[in-house]
Amino acid sequence: MFPAKSSVKGDFSRYLDIIQSRQLLDRELWRKCVGVFSSGIDDDDGGWRGEYWGKMMRGACLVFSVTGSDELYSVLTQAVEGLLSKQEPDGRISSYSREKEFYGWDIWARKYVMTGLQHYYDICRDEKLKERIMNSLEAHADYITAHIGEGKIPLLDTGLWWGSVNSATILEPFVRLYKDTGKPSYLEFARYIISTGGCSDGNLIDCVFEGKAPFEFPETKAYETMSFFEGLLAYYELTGEEYYLDAVKRFVHSLLETDFTAIGSCGCTHELFDNSTLRQTEPCEKIMQETCVTVTLMRLLARVFRITGEKELFDALQKSALNALAGALNINGYDQFSNEKKKYLPGMVFDSYSPLCDGARARGIGGFKEFADGSHFGCCACIASAGFALYPLMCVTQSDTEIRVNALTEGEFTFERGGESITLKVTEGEIKVSAPEGASFNLFVTEGTDSLRITASKDGIALPAKGGYYRFEGVKGGDIIRVSARDILTETVTGGKSSFALGGYTLAADESRGDAYIPGEKTVFIRNGDGSIVYKTLPAADGEHIRISANTERGELILTDYASSGQDGRSRVSVWF
Protein backbone atom coordinates (compact mmCIF):
# COMPACT_ATOMS: atom_id res chain seq x y z
CA MET A 1 0.00 0.00 0.00
CA PHE A 2 2.82 2.42 0.85
CA PRO A 3 5.09 3.69 -1.93
CA ALA A 4 8.22 1.60 -2.50
CA LYS A 5 10.08 4.91 -2.54
CA SER A 6 8.96 8.41 -1.64
CA SER A 7 10.53 11.84 -1.47
CA VAL A 8 8.39 14.58 0.05
CA LYS A 9 8.93 18.31 0.06
CA GLY A 10 7.57 21.09 2.20
CA ASP A 11 6.55 21.02 5.84
CA PHE A 12 6.78 17.32 6.55
CA SER A 13 10.18 17.05 4.91
CA ARG A 14 11.36 19.83 7.23
CA TYR A 15 9.70 18.18 10.21
CA LEU A 16 11.42 14.86 9.51
CA ASP A 17 14.80 16.58 9.24
CA ILE A 18 14.28 18.11 12.68
CA ILE A 19 13.14 14.81 14.17
CA GLN A 20 16.12 12.93 12.79
CA SER A 21 18.73 15.48 13.86
CA ARG A 22 17.35 16.17 17.33
CA GLN A 23 16.20 12.71 18.37
CA LEU A 24 16.53 9.68 16.09
CA LEU A 25 20.26 10.14 15.39
CA ASP A 26 21.04 10.48 19.11
CA ARG A 27 23.10 7.35 19.81
CA GLU A 28 23.30 8.15 23.53
CA LEU A 29 19.49 8.19 23.76
CA TRP A 30 19.32 4.80 22.07
CA ARG A 31 21.97 3.50 24.50
CA LYS A 32 19.80 4.56 27.44
CA CYS A 33 16.73 2.89 25.94
CA VAL A 34 18.69 -0.35 25.47
CA GLY A 35 20.11 -0.13 28.97
CA VAL A 36 16.77 -0.60 30.72
CA PHE A 37 16.67 -4.26 29.66
CA SER A 38 19.39 -5.42 32.04
CA SER A 39 18.56 -3.48 35.17
CA GLY A 40 15.07 -4.41 36.41
CA ILE A 41 14.59 -0.66 36.48
CA ASP A 42 10.79 -0.88 36.15
CA ASP A 43 10.34 -3.11 39.22
CA ASP A 44 9.91 -0.47 41.89
CA ASP A 45 7.29 1.71 40.21
CA GLY A 46 5.63 -0.77 37.84
CA GLY A 47 7.05 1.40 35.07
CA TRP A 48 7.04 1.43 31.29
CA ARG A 49 10.62 2.35 30.40
CA GLY A 50 10.72 -0.92 28.49
CA GLU A 51 8.39 0.57 25.85
CA TYR A 52 10.79 3.33 24.85
CA TRP A 53 13.13 1.35 22.61
CA GLY A 54 10.49 -0.41 20.51
CA LYS A 55 8.14 2.53 20.23
CA MET A 56 10.89 4.84 19.03
CA MET A 57 12.29 2.12 16.73
CA ARG A 58 8.92 1.74 15.00
CA GLY A 59 8.75 5.45 14.29
CA ALA A 60 12.40 5.64 13.24
CA CYS A 61 11.97 2.82 10.71
CA LEU A 62 8.96 4.59 9.19
CA VAL A 63 10.98 7.81 9.02
CA PHE A 64 13.73 5.88 7.24
CA SER A 65 11.13 4.67 4.74
CA VAL A 66 10.57 8.32 3.78
CA THR A 67 14.06 9.79 4.07
CA GLY A 68 16.28 6.83 3.15
CA SER A 69 19.01 8.27 5.39
CA ASP A 70 22.08 6.01 5.53
CA GLU A 71 23.13 7.68 8.76
CA LEU A 72 19.78 6.88 10.35
CA TYR A 73 20.01 3.28 9.16
CA SER A 74 23.45 2.95 10.79
CA VAL A 75 22.15 4.30 14.10
CA LEU A 76 19.14 1.97 14.06
CA THR A 77 21.30 -1.04 13.25
CA GLN A 78 23.50 -0.27 16.23
CA ALA A 79 20.39 0.08 18.42
CA VAL A 80 19.09 -3.30 17.24
CA GLU A 81 22.44 -4.95 17.93
CA GLY A 82 22.34 -3.41 21.40
CA LEU A 83 18.91 -4.84 22.11
CA LEU A 84 19.83 -8.31 20.85
CA SER A 85 22.80 -8.31 23.22
CA LYS A 86 20.37 -7.95 26.16
CA GLN A 87 18.38 -11.09 25.34
CA GLU A 88 18.81 -13.83 27.92
CA PRO A 89 19.52 -17.46 26.91
CA ASP A 90 15.88 -18.50 27.38
CA GLY A 91 14.68 -15.67 25.10
CA ARG A 92 13.63 -13.25 27.79
CA ILE A 93 13.87 -9.49 27.08
CA SER A 94 12.36 -7.37 29.84
CA SER A 95 12.89 -4.20 31.85
CA TYR A 96 11.57 -6.10 34.90
CA SER A 97 13.50 -8.62 37.01
CA ARG A 98 12.41 -12.25 36.99
CA GLU A 99 10.97 -11.76 40.47
CA LYS A 100 8.65 -8.97 39.29
CA GLU A 101 7.97 -9.96 35.65
CA PHE A 102 4.47 -10.17 34.14
CA TYR A 103 3.41 -7.26 36.30
CA GLY A 104 2.62 -3.59 35.69
CA TRP A 105 3.52 -2.67 32.13
CA ASP A 106 5.80 -5.62 31.44
CA ILE A 107 3.70 -7.30 28.72
CA TRP A 108 3.07 -3.90 27.12
CA ALA A 109 6.83 -3.26 26.98
CA ARG A 110 7.48 -6.75 25.57
CA LYS A 111 4.90 -5.94 22.90
CA TYR A 112 6.99 -2.96 21.87
CA VAL A 113 10.18 -5.03 21.81
CA MET A 114 8.46 -7.23 19.20
CA THR A 115 7.03 -4.26 17.32
CA GLY A 116 10.36 -2.48 17.11
CA LEU A 117 12.21 -5.56 15.89
CA GLN A 118 9.53 -6.31 13.31
CA HIS A 119 9.70 -2.80 11.87
CA TYR A 120 13.48 -2.91 11.66
CA TYR A 121 13.24 -6.35 10.01
CA ASP A 122 11.23 -4.70 7.21
CA ILE A 123 14.06 -2.29 6.34
CA CYS A 124 17.03 -4.53 7.17
CA ARG A 125 19.55 -4.94 4.35
CA ASP A 126 21.55 -7.75 5.98
CA GLU A 127 20.10 -11.26 5.54
CA LYS A 128 22.16 -12.69 8.40
CA LEU A 129 20.96 -9.97 10.75
CA LYS A 130 17.37 -10.60 9.62
CA GLU A 131 17.79 -14.26 10.53
CA ARG A 132 19.09 -13.31 13.98
CA ILE A 133 16.17 -10.93 14.49
CA MET A 134 13.62 -13.58 13.57
CA ASN A 135 15.29 -16.07 15.92
CA SER A 136 15.21 -13.44 18.66
CA LEU A 137 11.53 -12.69 18.05
CA GLU A 138 10.60 -16.35 18.25
CA ALA A 139 12.58 -16.92 21.45
CA HIS A 140 11.07 -13.77 23.00
CA ALA A 141 7.54 -14.86 22.04
CA ASP A 142 8.08 -18.45 23.16
CA TYR A 143 9.12 -17.24 26.61
CA ILE A 144 5.86 -15.29 26.85
CA THR A 145 3.63 -18.14 25.69
CA ALA A 146 5.39 -20.55 28.05
CA HIS A 147 4.17 -18.46 30.99
CA ILE A 148 0.97 -16.72 29.83
CA GLY A 149 -2.28 -18.30 28.61
CA GLU A 150 -4.80 -21.03 29.33
CA GLY A 151 -3.81 -22.93 32.48
CA LYS A 152 -0.94 -20.48 33.11
CA ILE A 153 -0.84 -16.85 34.21
CA PRO A 154 -4.00 -15.23 32.76
CA LEU A 155 -3.07 -12.42 30.39
CA LEU A 156 -5.54 -10.03 31.98
CA ASP A 157 -3.93 -10.56 35.39
CA THR A 158 -0.62 -9.09 34.23
CA GLY A 159 -1.52 -5.39 34.34
CA LEU A 160 -2.24 -3.19 37.34
CA TRP A 161 -4.40 -0.62 35.57
CA TRP A 162 -7.06 -0.14 32.90
CA GLY A 163 -8.30 -3.71 32.99
CA SER A 164 -4.99 -4.93 31.54
CA VAL A 165 -5.98 -3.63 28.10
CA ASN A 166 -2.32 -2.68 27.76
CA SER A 167 -1.32 -6.34 28.00
CA ALA A 168 -3.93 -7.40 25.42
CA THR A 169 -2.36 -5.11 22.82
CA ILE A 170 0.39 -7.68 22.31
CA LEU A 171 -2.11 -9.23 19.90
CA GLU A 172 -0.80 -7.29 16.89
CA PRO A 173 2.86 -8.41 16.96
CA PHE A 174 1.82 -12.02 17.61
CA VAL A 175 -0.39 -11.95 14.51
CA ARG A 176 2.56 -10.55 12.55
CA LEU A 177 4.89 -13.22 13.94
CA TYR A 178 2.52 -15.99 12.85
CA LYS A 179 2.34 -14.40 9.40
CA ASP A 180 6.15 -14.42 9.19
CA THR A 181 6.76 -17.90 10.58
CA GLY A 182 3.59 -19.94 10.11
CA LYS A 183 4.02 -21.45 13.59
CA PRO A 184 0.60 -22.50 14.94
CA SER A 185 1.46 -21.60 18.54
CA TYR A 186 1.51 -17.90 17.68
CA LEU A 187 -1.91 -18.02 16.02
CA GLU A 188 -3.26 -19.97 18.99
CA PHE A 189 -1.97 -17.31 21.34
CA ALA A 190 -3.55 -14.57 19.21
CA ARG A 191 -6.89 -16.38 19.40
CA TYR A 192 -6.46 -16.71 23.15
CA ILE A 193 -5.95 -12.95 23.45
CA ILE A 194 -9.08 -12.26 21.41
CA SER A 195 -11.06 -14.69 23.57
CA THR A 196 -10.34 -12.52 26.62
CA GLY A 197 -12.15 -9.59 25.03
CA GLY A 198 -9.12 -7.41 25.72
CA CYS A 199 -10.22 -6.14 29.14
CA SER A 200 -10.73 -7.74 32.56
CA ASP A 201 -13.64 -5.40 33.31
CA GLY A 202 -15.70 -6.22 30.21
CA ASN A 203 -15.35 -7.58 26.68
CA LEU A 204 -14.41 -4.68 24.38
CA ILE A 205 -15.61 -6.48 21.24
CA ASP A 206 -19.00 -7.13 22.83
CA CYS A 207 -19.19 -3.46 23.83
CA VAL A 208 -18.93 -2.44 20.17
CA PHE A 209 -21.74 -4.74 19.05
CA GLU A 210 -23.86 -3.58 21.98
CA GLY A 211 -23.67 -0.09 20.47
CA LYS A 212 -21.57 1.45 23.22
CA ALA A 213 -19.44 4.46 22.33
CA PRO A 214 -15.78 4.32 23.41
CA PHE A 215 -16.42 6.66 26.35
CA GLU A 216 -19.00 4.13 27.60
CA PHE A 217 -16.54 1.21 27.65
CA PRO A 218 -15.66 -0.37 31.04
CA GLU A 219 -12.16 1.13 30.65
CA THR A 220 -11.71 4.27 28.60
CA LYS A 221 -7.92 4.61 28.24
CA ALA A 222 -7.83 5.79 24.64
CA TYR A 223 -4.31 4.82 23.52
CA GLU A 224 -4.42 1.21 24.72
CA THR A 225 -7.99 0.62 23.56
CA MET A 226 -7.22 1.75 20.01
CA SER A 227 -4.08 -0.40 20.04
CA PHE A 228 -6.16 -3.46 20.90
CA PHE A 229 -8.52 -2.79 17.99
CA GLU A 230 -5.53 -2.33 15.70
CA GLY A 231 -4.45 -5.83 16.69
CA LEU A 232 -7.95 -7.08 15.97
CA LEU A 233 -7.71 -5.55 12.50
CA ALA A 234 -4.37 -7.30 11.94
CA TYR A 235 -6.11 -10.57 12.84
CA TYR A 236 -8.81 -9.86 10.25
CA GLU A 237 -6.16 -9.11 7.62
CA LEU A 238 -4.60 -12.50 8.34
CA THR A 239 -7.75 -14.63 8.56
CA GLY A 240 -10.35 -12.74 6.55
CA GLU A 241 -12.90 -13.18 9.35
CA GLU A 242 -15.34 -10.33 8.57
CA TYR A 243 -16.72 -10.27 12.11
CA TYR A 244 -13.54 -8.62 13.35
CA LEU A 245 -13.38 -6.10 10.51
CA ASP A 246 -16.98 -5.19 11.32
CA ALA A 247 -16.03 -4.71 14.98
CA VAL A 248 -13.15 -2.40 14.13
CA LYS A 249 -15.18 -0.36 11.63
CA ARG A 250 -17.98 0.11 14.15
CA PHE A 251 -15.46 1.17 16.77
CA VAL A 252 -13.74 3.67 14.48
CA HIS A 253 -16.95 5.28 13.23
CA SER A 254 -18.31 5.53 16.77
CA LEU A 255 -15.04 7.13 17.86
CA LEU A 256 -15.18 9.71 15.06
CA GLU A 257 -18.75 10.54 16.02
CA THR A 258 -18.29 10.86 19.78
CA ASP A 259 -14.58 11.41 20.55
CA PHE A 260 -12.96 13.35 17.72
CA THR A 261 -12.02 16.99 18.15
CA ALA A 262 -11.36 20.04 16.00
CA ILE A 263 -7.61 19.32 15.96
CA GLY A 264 -7.99 15.59 15.26
CA SER A 265 -7.38 13.93 18.61
CA CYS A 266 -9.48 12.31 21.35
CA GLY A 267 -10.03 12.84 25.04
CA CYS A 268 -10.38 16.02 27.07
CA THR A 269 -10.11 14.22 30.42
CA HIS A 270 -6.35 13.74 30.26
CA GLU A 271 -5.84 10.52 28.18
CA LEU A 272 -9.33 9.05 28.31
CA PHE A 273 -12.25 8.80 25.92
CA ASP A 274 -14.84 11.15 27.41
CA ASN A 275 -17.30 12.17 24.67
CA SER A 276 -14.81 14.85 23.66
CA THR A 277 -16.69 15.70 20.44
CA LEU A 278 -19.11 17.53 22.72
CA ARG A 279 -16.81 18.33 25.65
CA GLN A 280 -13.99 19.90 23.65
CA THR A 281 -15.36 23.45 24.00
CA GLU A 282 -14.95 23.47 27.77
CA PRO A 283 -11.96 25.42 29.17
CA CYS A 284 -9.59 22.98 30.80
CA GLU A 285 -6.46 23.51 32.87
CA LYS A 286 -5.72 19.78 32.95
CA ILE A 287 -3.76 17.75 30.44
CA MET A 288 -5.72 16.70 27.37
CA GLN A 289 -5.35 15.59 23.74
CA GLU A 290 -2.37 13.29 24.29
CA THR A 291 0.11 12.93 21.42
CA CYS A 292 0.20 9.13 21.94
CA VAL A 293 -3.55 9.13 21.34
CA THR A 294 -3.21 11.24 18.20
CA VAL A 295 -0.59 8.96 16.63
CA THR A 296 -2.40 5.75 17.55
CA LEU A 297 -5.62 7.15 16.10
CA MET A 298 -3.77 7.99 12.89
CA ARG A 299 -2.38 4.46 12.69
CA LEU A 300 -5.81 2.92 13.16
CA LEU A 301 -7.45 5.26 10.64
CA ALA A 302 -4.73 4.53 8.09
CA ARG A 303 -5.11 0.79 8.48
CA VAL A 304 -8.90 0.82 8.10
CA PHE A 305 -8.66 3.26 5.18
CA ARG A 306 -6.27 0.96 3.33
CA ILE A 307 -8.92 -1.77 3.55
CA THR A 308 -12.13 0.20 2.93
CA GLY A 309 -11.02 3.27 0.94
CA GLU A 310 -13.49 5.43 2.90
CA LYS A 311 -12.41 9.00 2.19
CA GLU A 312 -13.69 10.31 5.50
CA LEU A 313 -11.10 8.18 7.30
CA PHE A 314 -8.22 9.77 5.41
CA ASP A 315 -9.72 13.23 5.96
CA ALA A 316 -9.76 12.53 9.71
CA LEU A 317 -6.15 11.30 9.56
CA GLN A 318 -5.14 14.47 7.73
CA LYS A 319 -6.83 16.65 10.34
CA SER A 320 -4.82 14.83 13.02
CA ALA A 321 -1.56 15.22 11.10
CA LEU A 322 -1.86 18.89 10.16
CA ASN A 323 -3.12 20.06 13.54
CA ALA A 324 -2.68 18.01 16.72
CA LEU A 325 0.42 16.18 15.50
CA ALA A 326 2.20 19.07 13.78
CA GLY A 327 1.49 21.27 16.79
CA ALA A 328 3.16 18.74 19.08
CA LEU A 329 6.55 19.22 17.40
CA ASN A 330 8.53 21.41 19.78
CA ILE A 331 10.22 23.37 17.01
CA ASN A 332 11.44 26.16 19.26
CA GLY A 333 12.68 23.87 22.03
CA TYR A 334 10.64 25.37 24.87
CA ASP A 335 10.94 23.80 28.33
CA GLN A 336 8.17 21.44 29.42
CA PHE A 337 6.52 21.26 32.82
CA SER A 338 6.88 17.96 34.68
CA ASN A 339 3.95 17.17 36.95
CA GLU A 340 6.16 14.60 38.65
CA LYS A 341 9.01 17.02 39.41
CA LYS A 342 6.77 20.07 39.78
CA LYS A 343 9.04 22.20 37.66
CA TYR A 344 10.00 22.96 34.07
CA LEU A 345 12.59 20.64 32.54
CA PRO A 346 14.57 20.90 29.29
CA GLY A 347 12.15 20.33 26.47
CA MET A 348 12.09 17.17 24.36
CA VAL A 349 11.45 17.18 20.61
CA PHE A 350 7.72 16.55 21.05
CA ASP A 351 5.12 17.95 23.38
CA SER A 352 2.74 15.52 25.07
CA TYR A 353 -0.54 17.41 25.28
CA SER A 354 -2.42 19.88 23.11
CA PRO A 355 -4.81 22.60 24.33
CA LEU A 356 -8.19 23.26 22.73
CA CYS A 357 -9.91 26.06 24.63
CA ASP A 358 -7.96 28.74 26.48
CA GLY A 359 -5.00 26.53 27.33
CA ALA A 360 -1.26 26.38 26.75
CA ARG A 361 1.31 23.85 25.59
CA ALA A 362 4.09 22.26 27.70
CA ARG A 363 1.72 21.48 30.58
CA GLY A 364 2.97 17.95 31.27
CA ILE A 365 5.33 15.25 30.03
CA GLY A 366 3.37 12.15 29.10
CA GLY A 367 4.72 8.84 30.37
CA PHE A 368 7.47 10.63 32.31
CA LYS A 369 10.17 8.33 33.66
CA GLU A 370 13.83 8.79 34.54
CA PHE A 371 16.75 6.71 33.35
CA ALA A 372 19.42 5.50 35.78
CA ASP A 373 21.50 8.64 35.15
CA GLY A 374 18.63 10.96 36.15
CA SER A 375 17.76 12.12 32.62
CA HIS A 376 14.14 11.76 31.59
CA PHE A 377 12.05 10.56 28.66
CA GLY A 378 8.40 9.95 27.91
CA CYS A 379 5.88 7.95 25.90
CA CYS A 380 4.83 10.78 23.56
CA ALA A 381 8.45 11.60 22.84
CA CYS A 382 8.84 8.01 21.63
CA ILE A 383 5.75 7.64 19.48
CA ALA A 384 5.39 10.94 17.64
CA SER A 385 7.93 10.28 14.89
CA ALA A 386 5.73 7.42 13.64
CA GLY A 387 2.92 9.88 12.92
CA PHE A 388 5.19 12.34 11.13
CA ALA A 389 6.30 9.57 8.77
CA LEU A 390 2.90 7.92 8.42
CA TYR A 391 1.18 10.99 7.00
CA PRO A 392 3.43 11.49 3.94
CA LEU A 393 3.40 7.71 3.37
CA MET A 394 -0.41 7.84 3.27
CA CYS A 395 -0.68 10.83 0.92
CA VAL A 396 -0.33 8.58 -2.14
CA THR A 397 -1.29 4.91 -1.81
CA GLN A 398 -2.01 1.96 -4.09
CA SER A 399 -4.07 -1.20 -4.31
CA ASP A 400 -3.99 -3.97 -6.93
CA THR A 401 -5.69 -1.90 -9.63
CA GLU A 402 -5.36 1.73 -8.68
CA ILE A 403 -3.27 4.52 -7.22
CA ARG A 404 -4.90 7.11 -4.98
CA VAL A 405 -3.64 10.64 -4.44
CA ASN A 406 -5.22 11.31 -1.06
CA ALA A 407 -3.54 14.68 -0.46
CA LEU A 408 -1.68 17.04 -2.78
CA THR A 409 1.60 16.76 -0.90
CA GLU A 410 4.52 17.83 -3.07
CA GLY A 411 7.01 15.08 -3.80
CA GLU A 412 7.74 11.96 -5.82
CA PHE A 413 6.06 8.65 -5.05
CA THR A 414 7.19 5.42 -6.71
CA PHE A 415 5.24 2.16 -6.72
CA GLU A 416 6.22 -1.32 -7.84
CA ARG A 417 3.51 -3.05 -9.87
CA GLY A 418 4.17 -6.39 -11.51
CA GLY A 419 7.91 -5.77 -11.64
CA GLU A 420 7.43 -2.29 -13.12
CA SER A 421 7.96 1.07 -11.45
CA ILE A 422 5.39 3.84 -11.68
CA THR A 423 6.22 7.28 -10.34
CA LEU A 424 3.91 10.19 -9.61
CA LYS A 425 5.53 13.61 -9.32
CA VAL A 426 3.13 15.86 -7.43
CA THR A 427 3.77 19.60 -7.68
CA GLU A 428 1.60 22.64 -7.25
CA GLY A 429 -1.01 22.48 -10.00
CA GLU A 430 -0.27 19.09 -11.54
CA ILE A 431 0.52 15.41 -11.20
CA LYS A 432 3.00 14.02 -13.74
CA VAL A 433 3.03 10.29 -14.44
CA SER A 434 6.14 8.28 -15.32
CA ALA A 435 5.47 4.64 -16.24
CA PRO A 436 6.84 1.91 -18.55
CA GLU A 437 5.42 1.75 -22.04
CA GLY A 438 2.17 -0.19 -22.02
CA ALA A 439 1.56 0.23 -18.29
CA SER A 440 -1.95 1.42 -17.50
CA PHE A 441 -3.80 1.97 -14.23
CA ASN A 442 -6.66 3.90 -12.65
CA LEU A 443 -5.78 7.07 -10.76
CA PHE A 444 -7.95 8.61 -8.08
CA VAL A 445 -7.33 12.24 -7.12
CA THR A 446 -8.79 13.67 -3.92
CA GLU A 447 -11.77 15.98 -4.10
CA GLY A 448 -10.58 17.73 -0.95
CA THR A 449 -12.34 18.34 2.35
CA ASP A 450 -15.06 20.70 3.54
CA SER A 451 -12.58 23.56 3.80
CA LEU A 452 -10.57 22.72 0.67
CA ARG A 453 -12.07 22.47 -2.82
CA ILE A 454 -10.00 20.60 -5.42
CA THR A 455 -10.74 20.19 -9.11
CA ALA A 456 -8.87 17.84 -11.44
CA SER A 457 -8.80 17.33 -15.19
CA LYS A 458 -6.95 15.30 -17.84
CA ASP A 459 -6.66 16.44 -21.45
CA GLY A 460 -8.81 19.40 -20.49
CA ILE A 461 -11.67 17.16 -19.40
CA ALA A 462 -12.94 17.58 -15.85
CA LEU A 463 -14.76 14.61 -14.38
CA PRO A 464 -17.40 14.65 -11.64
CA ALA A 465 -16.15 13.47 -8.28
CA LYS A 466 -17.56 10.34 -6.68
CA GLY A 467 -16.88 9.09 -3.18
CA GLY A 468 -14.53 11.99 -2.56
CA TYR A 469 -12.27 11.30 -5.56
CA TYR A 470 -11.94 12.10 -9.24
CA ARG A 471 -11.37 8.85 -11.15
CA PHE A 472 -9.14 8.74 -14.23
CA GLU A 473 -9.07 5.41 -16.05
CA GLY A 474 -6.24 4.05 -18.17
CA VAL A 475 -3.61 6.50 -16.94
CA LYS A 476 -0.18 5.89 -18.50
CA GLY A 477 3.32 7.31 -18.65
CA GLY A 478 3.49 10.91 -19.84
CA ASP A 479 -0.03 11.77 -18.69
CA ILE A 480 -0.50 14.96 -16.71
CA ILE A 481 -3.40 15.56 -14.35
CA ARG A 482 -4.11 19.25 -13.82
CA VAL A 483 -5.28 20.16 -10.35
CA SER A 484 -6.34 23.35 -8.64
CA ALA A 485 -7.17 23.95 -5.01
CA ARG A 486 -9.19 26.63 -3.28
CA ASP A 487 -9.37 27.22 0.47
CA ILE A 488 -12.80 27.83 1.97
CA LEU A 489 -13.36 29.09 5.50
CA THR A 490 -15.72 26.75 7.34
CA GLU A 491 -17.30 27.16 10.74
CA THR A 492 -18.31 24.44 13.19
CA VAL A 493 -20.68 25.26 16.05
CA THR A 494 -20.68 23.07 19.16
CA GLY A 495 -21.92 23.86 22.65
CA GLY A 496 -22.59 27.49 21.77
CA LYS A 497 -19.03 28.03 20.55
CA SER A 498 -17.45 28.23 17.11
CA SER A 499 -14.28 26.89 15.55
CA PHE A 500 -12.93 27.60 12.06
CA ALA A 501 -10.90 25.72 9.47
CA LEU A 502 -9.24 26.74 6.24
CA GLY A 503 -7.76 24.33 3.71
CA GLY A 504 -7.35 21.43 6.14
CA TYR A 505 -5.93 23.61 8.89
CA THR A 506 -7.86 24.32 12.08
CA LEU A 507 -7.48 27.98 13.03
CA ALA A 508 -6.50 29.22 16.48
CA ALA A 509 -5.99 32.45 18.37
CA ASP A 510 -2.81 33.00 20.38
CA GLU A 511 -2.75 35.63 23.14
CA SER A 512 0.74 36.70 22.01
CA ARG A 513 -0.61 37.78 18.59
CA GLY A 514 -2.96 40.60 19.45
CA ASP A 515 -5.26 42.23 21.96
CA ALA A 516 -8.56 41.09 20.42
CA TYR A 517 -8.19 37.63 21.98
CA ILE A 518 -8.31 37.55 25.75
CA PRO A 519 -8.37 34.02 27.21
CA GLY A 520 -11.61 33.21 28.97
CA GLU A 521 -13.52 36.24 27.60
CA LYS A 522 -16.27 36.20 25.01
CA THR A 523 -15.36 36.87 21.39
CA VAL A 524 -18.13 38.44 19.27
CA PHE A 525 -17.44 38.21 15.53
CA ILE A 526 -18.71 40.72 12.99
CA ARG A 527 -20.65 38.76 10.37
CA ASN A 528 -21.81 39.14 6.80
CA GLY A 529 -25.46 38.94 5.82
CA ASP A 530 -25.14 35.18 5.23
CA GLY A 531 -23.80 34.64 8.74
CA SER A 532 -20.17 34.10 7.75
CA ILE A 533 -17.50 36.03 9.63
CA VAL A 534 -15.87 39.07 8.09
CA TYR A 535 -12.17 38.44 7.55
CA LYS A 536 -9.23 39.09 5.27
CA THR A 537 -6.22 36.98 4.41
CA LEU A 538 -2.83 38.25 5.59
CA PRO A 539 0.72 37.18 4.68
CA ALA A 540 1.75 34.29 6.92
CA ALA A 541 4.48 35.17 9.41
CA ASP A 542 7.53 32.99 9.96
CA GLY A 543 6.50 29.50 11.07
CA GLU A 544 2.86 29.95 10.10
CA HIS A 545 0.93 28.25 7.30
CA ILE A 546 -2.09 30.56 7.35
CA ARG A 547 -2.90 33.95 8.84
CA ILE A 548 -6.22 35.76 8.67
CA SER A 549 -7.67 38.79 10.40
CA ALA A 550 -11.27 38.43 11.58
CA ASN A 551 -13.38 41.42 12.61
CA THR A 552 -14.73 41.34 16.16
CA GLU A 553 -16.43 43.85 18.42
CA ARG A 554 -13.12 44.18 20.26
CA GLY A 555 -11.08 44.74 17.11
CA GLU A 556 -9.12 42.61 14.66
CA LEU A 557 -8.54 39.03 15.79
CA ILE A 558 -5.54 37.24 14.30
CA LEU A 559 -6.20 33.58 13.55
CA THR A 560 -3.45 31.25 12.35
CA ASP A 561 -3.07 27.52 11.85
CA TYR A 562 -3.28 25.62 15.13
CA ALA A 563 0.14 24.00 14.75
CA SER A 564 1.98 27.33 14.80
CA SER A 565 0.04 28.67 17.80
CA GLY A 566 1.42 28.62 21.31
CA GLN A 567 4.89 27.65 20.14
CA ASP A 568 6.56 29.61 22.91
CA GLY A 569 5.20 26.99 25.33
CA ARG A 570 3.57 29.65 27.49
CA SER A 571 0.97 31.64 25.53
CA ARG A 572 -2.64 30.59 25.89
CA VAL A 573 -4.40 29.55 22.70
CA SER A 574 -7.88 28.56 21.68
CA VAL A 575 -9.65 27.00 18.70
CA TRP A 576 -13.09 27.59 20.26
CA PHE A 577 -14.75 30.97 20.68
Pairing of strands 396-398, 402-405: antiparallel
Predicted confidence band of residue 520 (pLDDT cuts 50, 70, 90): confident
How far is Cα 573 from Cα 577, in angstroms, rounded to an integer? 11
Please compute, for residue 378, the number of CA atoms within 13 A of its CA located in the half-sphere on the CB side: 25
Cβ distance 267 to 222 under 8 Å?
A: yes
Residue 285, pLDDT > 80, answer no
pLDDT given at position 283? 86
Predicted confidence band of residue 360 (pLDDT cuts 50, 70, 90): very high
pLDDT given at position 494? 95
Buried b (16+ CB within 10 A) or exposed e, 91-125: bbbbbbeeebbbbbbbbbbbbbbbbbbbbbbebbe
**pLDDT tens string 175-233:** 999 999 999 999 999 999 999 999 999 999 999 999 999 999 999 999 999 999 999 99
Domains, the chain, with CATH or none: 1-147 (no CATH), 399-487 (2.60.420), 489-574 (no CATH)
Predicted confidence band of residue 38 (pLDDT cuts 50, 70, 90): confident
* Average pLDDT, integer, range 274-299: 94
Residue 4, pLDDT > 80, answer no
How far is Cα 161 from Cα 219, in angstroms, rounded to an integer? 9
Residue 72, pLDDT > 90, answer yes
* Average pLDDT, integer, range 163-179: 98
What percentage of the chain carries pLDDT values higher than 90?
91
* Average pLDDT, integer, range 121-150: 98
Predicted confidence band of residue 49 (pLDDT cuts 50, 70, 90): very high
How far is Cα 523 from Cα 515, in angstroms, rounded to an integer? 11
Give the SS3 label for residue 238.
Answer: helix
